[in-house]
């Protein structure tokens, strides 16, 4: 495992998201269910670097949330990671925390 990055998710209970880089293209994201998801516990997702344009918007991450027990959105989600932030296709933005 390379680096661990810590993010704050304002849209889902202000929960912590930990992103661990597995190799040059792959990350595992670990998080806790937020109060809006109605479940205690933790989940994991796999993020893969990509280069996609969808509806005119560029994305550099494809994230597979299918391992979650509760999914409040699509199983595959796209995001753009840049300058200590992850901008999600639904408008949410995770901000990297200093650790």
In terms of residue numbers, what domain contains 83? Answer: 4-96
What is the structure's pLDDT at 68? Answer: 86
Tally of domains in the chain? 1
Coil, helix or strand at residue 9: strand
Closest CA to 13 of 94, 81, 67, 96: 94
What is the structure's pLDDT at 1? Answer: 55
For residue range 49-63, list pLDDT tens digits in order. Answer: 999 999 999 999 999
């Amino acid at each position: 495992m390379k680096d661990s990055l810590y993010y704050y998710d304002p849209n889902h209970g202000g929960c912590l998201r930990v992103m661990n880089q597995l190799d040059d293209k792959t990350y595992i994201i670990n998080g806790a269910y937020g109060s809006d998801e109605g479940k205690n516990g933790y989940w994991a997702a796999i993020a893969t670097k990509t280069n996609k344009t969808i509806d005119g918007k560029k994305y550099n991450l494809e994230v597979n949330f299918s391992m979650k027990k509760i999914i409040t959105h699509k199983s595959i989600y796209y995001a753009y990671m840049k300058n200590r932030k992850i901008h999600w296709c639904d408008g949410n933005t995770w901000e990297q925390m200093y650790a």
